[in-house]
Amino acid sequence: MVCEVIIDKTKGLNRTFDYLVPKELEEIIKVGMRVVVDFNNREKLGLVLKLKEESSFKELKTVISLIDLEPIVSNDMLKLVFYLEKHYFATLEDAISVVIPSVLKYKTETIIKVNDRTKLSSKLNELLTKELNEYKKELRIYQKEINEAIKLNYLELINKYKKTKLGVIKYYKYLNNIVVKGKKINELLNYLKDKYYVSIKTLNELGFSNQVINRCLSLGGIRELKKEVIVENTYLNLNYELPTLNEEQEKALNKIDINNYKTYLLYGVTGSGKTLVYLKLIEKLIKEGKEAIVLVPEIMLTSQIAALFKQIFKESLALIHSKLTEREKLSVYERIKKGEVKIVLGPRSALFVPFNNLGVIIIDEEQEKSYIQEQNPTYDARVLAAELAKMQNIPLLLVSATPRIISFYKALNKEYELLTLTKRATLVNMPKSIVVDMREELKNKNVSTISNALQEEIKNTLENNKQVIIFINKRGYASAVMCRDCGHIITCPNCSLPLTYHRNRTKLICHLCGHEEEQINICPQCGSRKIRYVGLGTEKITADLVRLFPKARILRVDSDSVGNDYNYYYQKINNNEVDIIVGTQMLAKGLDFKDVALVGIINADTGLYYPTYDAYENNFMLLEQVSGRSGRKDEGKVVFQTYNPDNYVIKYASNNNYLAFYNEEIKKRKLLDNPPFKQLLKLTVSDVLDTKALMNANILIDKLKNLNITILGPSEAIYFKNNNKYNYDIYIKFIDFSDISYLNQIIKDLDFYVKINYL
């Protein structure tokens, strides 16, 4: 028997190698298992992609050992690997890295074994004190001598493979209500009363000493359990009462065939109860012993949905997100394999969990860009979800109040089945809109960031003890720092983009590469002290609101202020502990705040000027989504501050008219042959030299000329200089993947790197 293996950490090769399977492993080895093989006279890890009777190669090496007792990659996940390789032009190794979570990967440790100490130099003898030695950094300067000693068999390199282990930790759970005088013991009992098992580490962090824990244990108030790591997610306590489905929701649910593959688009106005529809769908599937994957775009949105899921499905739910530790991620995967988890909720990486009886894949806020992985290997989780759903013959449910133009086009053309919710579940009207022309504000000598109309609406809303959301899609205090004498703008040395001033940290920060500088008072160009902060950000808007409404409780919600405390911020808003919330798009999607009666949108037209074919679509979606946070319980209002009140994006967003926007936008797309009428691919060529990047881009265009495609470019990328590299974009329009099937080979034959993104 022969196995075809992709070798770990050999990116430049991107091919498989054949190895003989020893007789004793023939009955055990399976596709998707990892093996240790001899590769280039070194032990390496490899993944078995295929088993066959014979090889076209003659002299084959034999597999040294088997790492896994069962496959870590299922057949369906392997199919996704090959799909990624073909359609997203990824290397096999990169494609595999997408479907195998890092926590399941083995870490390789190199050991130097001393075979003949008498033949080594005194320095090596001094450094290699044991028979088996760690390959430490200080040995690198003797690499040449080490290599010679290895050739002569005086030394030997041995690879050790380690994997993350769960380990055993003490956990505690409430057992009995005991009468005791100790204040801390009573606090501990009250804390544990409604909790699942809580680790000793968490209890210590909360201020409960080991002495208090042990005393409570000896009195019989709590019980101790030593077990593997449990993920201790803190869930919001919403006490949400699930309503019964209304007629529209019931109709939508009944149309979903749970026994066959089809893509459904659940389109409904904000607040129409789309989440309730898919909760009921999952409930139905769980009763049949099936499992569900729910993808969400934002961790803050995860907080609210997770609270609902936890309330209904208890311990059957698991969250996967970037804030989990390696041990916690491994704990989730172990629980999935044991069948303890029936629902996984998380971002795009949650798509690859090892369920055995998957019943549905749900993608909430399907319009979101975060479902696209920008880093290599690039992929769109929505496309991979459709492929996985086809393989498993299960439904895929896309959910949105503002679906992508592409998705809605497919639904109208019967490629997807359209499920529509036309009214809010509470029967409350959509919020009333006020459009403020900021040009008129300037004419009336109002230079504030907050228009007179918005100030008046905020005042009225606060008097009615309701909450206000002020939305601006920019962090920081000022978008740029400029010298008023010479006009010099302080830019990032790595990216040539204006640095954003963050007043709270007194720093100038690049939001592209993260570069930071101290706040400046003197122009580095001309020495002037006339430094001006221009543009708007959440910090600046917050400062203006503090000045205008000094008694209001104001909370800023953006990635700078929130950190990892998503639940804390959500709870504060939900408990009505704040009056005005200033935030970025983190607040825009899916969140349900019952007391928000006013949304104010600063610079509603900012996104219109972004140089992409879908800029209007993205801007409209954001405006619609953030507008939908207003008046969920009682009728609300939305104030749009704009310099372009006649633009159709502003016009249709302020009227909550998605269909009118779609009809306008689809005409423009057809005229220009943009998606959904043709597919669009962006190829980015980068180099530390501007001239070299442009030259390579032109070489690539020359290679593409024989394909049945439309080529645009090269042009300077939106972020022309990024992390000290210059970037040129080439755009390709094509009808079918077969038109670009040779692109993979063209890219492979180049001696420079090309980044590929579907648009």
Per-chain mean pLDDT for the chain: 87
User: Minimum mean pLDDT among 64-68, 244-248, 472-476: which range?
Assistant: 472-476
| Cis preceding linkage at 493, omega within 30 | no
Taking alpha carbons only, the member of 603, 744, 732 closest to residue 674 is 732
- Residue, of 559 and 609, whose pLDDT is higher: 609
Q: Which CATH superfamily is domain 679-758 in?
A: Ribosomal protein S10 (3.30.70.600)
- Residue, of 732 and 481, whose pLDDT is higher: 732
Look at residue 168 in the predicted model and tell me its pLDDT.
67
End-to-end alpha carbon distance in the chain: 44
Look at residue 535 in the predicted model and tell me its pLDDT.
67
Look at residue 237 in the predicted model and tell me its pLDDT.
61
Residues 322-345 have a mean pLDDT of 82
Look at residue 253 in the predicted model and tell me its pLDDT.
96
Q: Do the beta carbons of residue 627 and residue 434 sit within 8 Å?
A: no
- Tens digits of per-residue pLDDT, 187-221? 899 888 877 778 888 888 788 999 999 999 998 99
pTM: predicted TM-score of the whole model, two decimal places: 0.81
- Tens digits of per-residue pLDDT, 681-695? 999 999 999 999 999
CATH code reported for the domain at 247-421: 3.40.50.300
- Residue, of 164 and 376, whose pLDDT is higher: 376
Q: Where are the domains of the chain?
A: 2-104, 107-162, 168-228, 247-421, 432-474+545-668, 475-535, 679-758
Q: Is the pLDDT of residue 648 over 70?
A: yes
Q: Is the pLDDT of residue 80 over 90?
A: yes
DSSP-assigned states of every residue in 118-170: GGS-HHHHHH--SSEEE--GGGGGGHHHHHHHHHTTSEEEEEEEE-----EEE
- 2-104: which CATH topology? GIY-YIG endonuclease (3.40.1440)
Residues 377-393 have a mean pLDDT of 95
CATH code reported for the domain at 475-535: 2.20.28
- Tens digits of per-residue pLDDT, 523-549? 888 889 888 777 678 888 898 999 999
Q: Do the beta carbons of residue 377 and residue 88 sit within 8 Å?
A: yes
User: Minimum mean pLDDT among 247-261, 278-292, 384-398, 565-579: which range?
Assistant: 565-579
- 168-228: which CATH topology? Arc Repressor Mutant, subunit A (1.10.10)
Q: Is the pLDDT of residue 482 over 90?
A: no
Q: Is the pLDDT of residue 53 over 80?
A: yes
- Do 247-421 and 432-474+545-668 have matching folds? yes
Q: Which residue has the tokens 């479907």?
A: 99
Q: Is the pLDDT of residue 303 over 70?
A: no
DSSP-assigned states of every residue in 407-475: HHHHHHTTSSEEEEE-S-TT-PPPPEEEEEEHHHHHHTT--SSS-HHHHHHHHHHHHTT-EEEEE-S--
Look at residue 586 in the predicted model and tell me its pLDDT.
75
Look at residue 689 in the predicted model and tell me its pLDDT.
95
- Tens digits of per-residue pLDDT, 560-613? 666 556 667 777 888 889 999 998 877 766 567 889 999 999 989 878 888 889
Taking alpha carbons only, the member of 228, 438, 180 closest to residue 333 is 228
So what CATH class is 432-474+545-668? alpha beta
Residues 621-647 have a mean pLDDT of 90
SS3 content of the chain, % helix, strand, coil (to 5): 35, 25, 40
